[in-house]
Amino acid sequence: MARPLTDQEKRRQISLRGIPDLENVHELIKGFNRHLHFTLVKDRNIATPRDYYSALAHTVRDHLVGRWIRTQQFYYESDPKRVYYLSLEFYMGRTLQNTMVNLGVQNTCDEAMYQLGLDIEELEEIEEDAGLGNGGLGRLAACFLDSMATLGLAAYGYGIRYEYGIFNQKIRDGCQVEEADDWLRYGNPWEKSRPEFMLPVHFYGRVQETKEGSKWVDTQVVLAMPYDTPIPGYQNNTVNTMRLWSARAPNDFNLKDFNVGDYIQAVLDRNLAENISRVLYPNDNFFEGKELRLKQEYFVVAATLQDIIRRFKTSKSGSPSNKKHLCLLQVAVQLNDTHPAMAIPELMRIFVDIEKLDWDVAWDLTRRTFAYTNHTVLPEALERWPIKLMETLLPRHLQIIYQINQKHLDNIAALFPDDMDKLRAMSLIEEDGEKRVNMAHLCIVGSHAVNGVAEIHSNIIKTQVFRNFSDLEPGKFQNKTNGITPRRWLLVCNTGLVDVIAEHHESQTGSYEMTCFYLKYIENKLKFAQYLEKEYNVKINPGSIFDVHVKRIHEYKRQVLNCLHIIHLYNQIRMKPNAPFTPRTVIIGGKAAPGYHMAKMIIKLITSVGDVINNDPVVGDKLKVIFLENYRVSLAEKVIPATDLSEQISTAGTEASGTGNMKFMLNGALTIGTLDGANVEMAEEAGKENMFIFGMTVDEVQEMDKEGYDAMSYYEKLPELKQVMDQITSGFFSLKQPHLFKDITDMLFKYDRFKVFADFEAYVKCQERVSKLFQDPIEWSKMVLRNIAATGKFSSDRTITEYARDIWGVEPSNIKIPPPSEPLRYFDKLNGLSSF
């Protein structure tokens, strides 16, 4: 009998990716050796695995360069409307494998590395994640870049090149410990600095009124250095640009004024300016009004708008010979949440103070340019910057915001005379307590389109959170249900499933196909189990339900509800050790914001419960609880394809969309979830009967808010819940510190905004249905297939097509740029100009 194939051999066999051309393999090996020699200055005697990774990355990058330059030349020549996606976060993860897949050179690379005796999967593991994001919002931006390139849009991502991305999470004694993410330590082969496009950004200073208008003077200058990363579309020869700014002190920093004479101190103080791009703020769905964060937000906005205008002015439609100059701003700017909201007053400042446009003309242009995506309705997440801070840091912008507000309130007063409550509710300036700028209101007023990220969320912002604004301009509010890129989240991360789909896409869902599916899952599960054993020395039962709950740790995401269910299962096992039980491995992972005490306690609760359950001989391998350390994009790519059951259990009305839910669905997990965010649309697409839906609806949650939520009544009514809570309260899971979880239990009993107890019973019952169905692999697999077949809507290609049509006024391009091996038919007269 033949021995089983290794992973690497299997990868080489995958027919879908074509047979590698031997000549290309030879060329690739040549390129690889050249980079090992000339770029890394190594030979194969002393090269480390990281050197091999770098040599491969540089070789693959070489394949991008020609396409990248030509795409930008093509944009210059055809001069389409440009789309700018502004975001404080781009959660890109790794780049190598995604680039190989999008360029269609994966097979060639696999074969080349095989011939060199190198394990390509091992090399891929060496790459650091680009962790420039917290969670869903940042990952959405990354998926959108992939889709915009795939659809051939002339699009750019603009953000900050944080020197330290999202922290690395270590678990020590069951608690989260943060470590700095020094992701650039070994260099980054995917970026190219562009010092020639460095731009000044101003802070502080004062406003001088002159005959020619307002002037912002006596400012401190920080320089913004751009770093470009190529964004390849899927096998269409398009390569777009993500441009990230890094803060640099000017060379005369602190030498001119107050540090005169102290040269050494002045050089040391350059750090102060460069701190702006030092580190990503690790909050997800939470606003922390720190000055350095406001500096970051303005820094990216100021540098980006200068760059946009520079590119526009050097474009054909913006050239001085064209009289329409500026009045035909061929630009759409999408604001990813309110984080880049200062772009609105900044563009007004440029138009009014520098370009000397009339205010009303400037305002009209500004509103046509911007569109705003809202990502949350949680009040603690809404940005409200103190006036005092803004007055010091950006005095001219505050003036402009006041002026925008004046005209805005005048409009409302004209429509609703004497309605002071309405004026107060809709003002950009909040006057109760510390005076603040409401950034969401600024974005709504300064944009021509505002969108939520799932139907249910868009309805909530329209009819509740921003009701006054949508009454005023109903056409402005839209829905754009989020999506994920099927390249990274299927082609790259789940080759096994891609294979089965490719082989069986035309056949019926008979039991033979079901068996094939089932076997693929077992394979993914085995691979993940091996990974856990190798990396963390934990053994899990691959025949158990892999019940996975991975996302940022947050009260509204209700990891605690999951935890209560785990304890309940444990109690059932202990009560009847010999009763039949569907084995489960519950895997929970996610980072807590370092300053979020409750979230950190939730991690400690999960690990403590795990310590008891995993070491109880009565339990055996019926139930295991794993806290998955350092959840991030590259780990999501491993755990999601191995998942049977996806946990999406937020309180209805709190999760704007979710995108993790879609990744699991696409990879063949079944969902247990509430009717929240995009879960609602997933159930519409796949059929409610193919998901495990439980718990209160948004209406029922709001009804309960009116009547008052009484946690104690559930505790008294539900003996199973009572037992679970009594165990936590009595210190059963924290023998050395019986009161360790008092903050959690107090929250649950006294001020739980997310009503965990109210959904406990329904959740437990629903989980019982899950356990029962898992006993029937054929029925389970059928349900999986009906889910996978219904995932089409959740491709970010669909999402971006809608943004393009309904908000940006651009169309996906069906012109395919020829590959570098073919001549550029588009250029009659190649003038060498490009629009970088």
Ligand X SMILES: *Cc1c(COP(=O)(O)O)cnc(C)c1O
Residue 487 lies near ligand X (rule: CB under 6 A): no
Q: Which is nearer to ligand X, 331 or 532 (CB)?
A: 532
Instruction: Specify the residue, 531 or 826, whose C-beta has the smaller distance to ligand X.
Output: 531
Helical segments of 370-466, H only: 387-393, 395-415, 420-426, 439-445, 455-460
Exposure string over 655-671, b if 16+ CB within 10 A, otherwise e: bbbbbbbbbbbbbbbbb
Using the minimum distance from each CB to ligand X, give the nearer residue, 382 or 678: 678
Q: How many residues bind ligand X (CB under 6 A)?
A: 12
CA-nearest of 92, 86, 84, 227 to 156 is: 84
Site string for ligand X, 645-684 (x = CB under 6 A): -------------xxx--x---------------------
Closer residue to ligand X, CB minimum distance, 302 or 662: 662
Site for ligand X in 376-405 (CB under 6 A): none
Cα-flanking dihedrals φ and ψ of residue 371, to 5°?
-140, 150
Chain centre to alpha carbon of residue 75: 27
**Of 168, 184, 185, whose CA–CA distance to 176 is shortest?**
168
Which one of 72-80, 455-463, 631-639, 788-796 is the stretch in contact with ligand X (CB under 6 A)? 631-639
632 in contact with ligand X (CB under 6 A):
yes
- Provide the minimum distance between the beta carbon of 133 and ligand X in the complex, in angstroms, as a whole number: 8
CB of 139 to ligand X, least distance (A): 4
Q: Where are the alpha helices (DSSP H) in 651-752?
A: 660-666, 679-686, 698-707, 711-717, 719-730, 742-750
Q: Which of 229, 495, 659, 799 is catalytic?
A: 659
**469 or 763: CB nearest ligand X:** 763
Binding mask 443-462 for ligand X (x = CB under 6 A): --------------------
For residue 573, the SS3 value is helix
Given the complex with ligand X, which of 636 and 683 has the nearer CB atom? 636
Q: Which is nearer to ligand X, 375 or 396 (CB)?
A: 375
The tokens for 190 are 């995917």
CB-count exposure of residue 81 (10 Å: 0-12, 13-18, 19+): middle
> What is the C-alpha separation between 679 and 676, in angstroms, rounded?
6
Catalytic residue among 243, 248, 487, 557: 557
- Between CA 121 and CA 836 the distance in angstroms is 34
* 452 versus 658: smaller Cβ distance to ligand X: 658
Cα of first residue to Cα of last residue in the chain, in angstroms, is 57
Which residue among the candidates 554, 663, 755, 782 is catalytic per the annotation? 663
Does position 139 bind ligand X by CB under 6 A? yes
The residue annotated as part of the active site, out of 70, 462, 480, 551, is: 551
Q: In this structure, how many other beta carbons lie within 10 angstroms of the beta carbon of residue 820?
A: 15
Stated length of the chain:
836
Quote the tokens at residue 128. Answer: 């650091």
CB of 171 to ligand X, least distance (A): 17
Token duo for residue 201: 């950004």
Span from 106-114, 628-636, 754-762, 812-820 in contact with ligand X (CB under 6 A) = 628-636
Stretch that binds ligand X, among 9-17, 46-54, 131-139, 400-408 (CB under 6 A): 131-139
**Of the candidate residues 20, 135, 152, 668, the single one contacting ligand X (CB under 6 A):** 135
Q: Which residues contact 79 (CB under 8 A, 6 or more apart)?
A: 315, 316, 317, 330
Answer yes or no whether residue 339 interacts with ligand X by CB under 6 A: no
Nearest-approach distance from CB 658 to ligand X, in angstroms: 4
Check residue 437 and give left, alpha or beta (phi > 0: left; psi -120 to 50: alpha). Answer: beta
Question: Least separation, in Å, of the C-beta of 639 and ligand X?
Answer: 10
Q: Which of 136, 189, 318, 610 binds ligand X (CB under 6 A)?
A: 136
Question: Smallest distance, Å, CB 132 to ligand X?
Answer: 12
Instruction: Candidates 179-187, 316-324, 462-470, 629-637: pick the segment binding ligand X (CB under 6 A).
Output: 629-637
Measured from the CB of residue 485, what is the shortest distance to ligand X in angstroms?
11
Applying CB under 6 A, which part among 118-126, 132-140, 473-481, 535-543 lies near ligand X?
A: 132-140
Q: If DSSP codes are grouped into helix, strand and coil, which group holds residue 225? A: strand
Nearer to ligand X, 12 or 632 (CB): 632
Least distance between ligand X and beta carbon 550 (Å): 7
Place of tokens 């905004």: 753
Pick the binder of ligand X from 636, 665, 711, 807 (CB under 6 A). Answer: 636
Helix H or strand E encompassing 41: none
* 406's tokens: 């004046």
**Which tokens in the block code for residue 6?**
């290794």
- Reply yes or no on whether 552 is catalytic: yes
Stretch that binds ligand X, among 66-74, 506-514, 625-633, 737-745 (CB under 6 A): 625-633
Give yes or no: 659 in active site: yes
Q: How far is the CB of 378 from ligand X (least distance, A)?
A: 13
Annotated catalytic residue within 396, 408, 552, 604: 552
Q: Do the beta carbons of residue 147 and residue 799 sit within 8 Å?
A: yes
Identity of the residue, 295 or 632, whose beta carbon is nearer to ligand X in the bound complex: 632
Tokens at 716, concatenated: 């008294």
Q: Which is nearer to ligand X, 135 or 496 (CB)?
A: 135
Residue 751 amino acid letter:
Y
Catalytic residue among 12, 58, 243, 375: 375
558 assigned to active site: no
Q: Which is nearer to ligand X, 487 or 632 (CB)?
A: 632
Closest of 577, 563, 592, 588 to residue 764, by C-alpha: 563
| Residue 633 touches ligand X, criterion: CB under 6 A | yes
Phi, psi at 84, each rounded to 5°: -115, 125
Show Cβ contacts of residue 383 under 8 Å, excluding neighbours closer than 6 positions: 287, 338, 339, 341, 439, 440
Closest CA to 374 of 304, 441, 294: 441
Cβ proximity to ligand X: between 226 and 483 the closer is: 483
Closest by CA position to 87, among listed 277, 333, 287, 292 = 333
Taking the C-alpha atoms of residue 332 and residue 281, their distance in angstroms, rounded to an integer, is: 27
CB proximity list for 781: less than 8 A, separation 6 or greater? 514, 515, 517, 518
Q: How far is the CB of 465 from ligand X (least distance, A)?
A: 20
742-750 vs 597-614: helix crossing angle, rounded to 10: 110
476 has catalytic annotation: no
Residues linked to residue 95 through DSSP beta bridges, in sequence order: none
Q: How far is the CB of 143 from ligand X (least distance, A)?
A: 9
- Residue with the CB atom nearest ligand X in the bound state: 660
Instruction: Tell me whether residue 591 is one of the annotated catalytic residues.
Output: no
**Residues 213-252, mask of contacts with ligand X (x by CB under 6 A):** ----------------------------------------
User: Minimum CB separation from ligand X for residue 818, in Å?
Assistant: 34
Interface with ligand X includes 551 (CB under 6 A)?
yes
Nearest CA to 301 out of 80, 92, 84, 450 is that of: 84
Listing DSSP states for 492-523 in one string gives IT-HHHHHHHHHHTTS---HHHHHHHHHHHHH
- Mapping DSSP to helix (H, G, I), strand (E, B) and coil, where does residue 350 land? helix
**Token code pair at residue 56:** 């491969």
Shortest distance, position 138 Cβ to ligand X, whole Å: 8
130 in contact with ligand X (CB under 6 A): no
d(CA 645, CA 632): 19
Q: Catalytic positions, please?
A: 375, 551-552, 557, 659, 663
Chain residues in the site for ligand X (CB under 6 A): 135-136, 139, 551, 631-633, 636, 658-660, 663
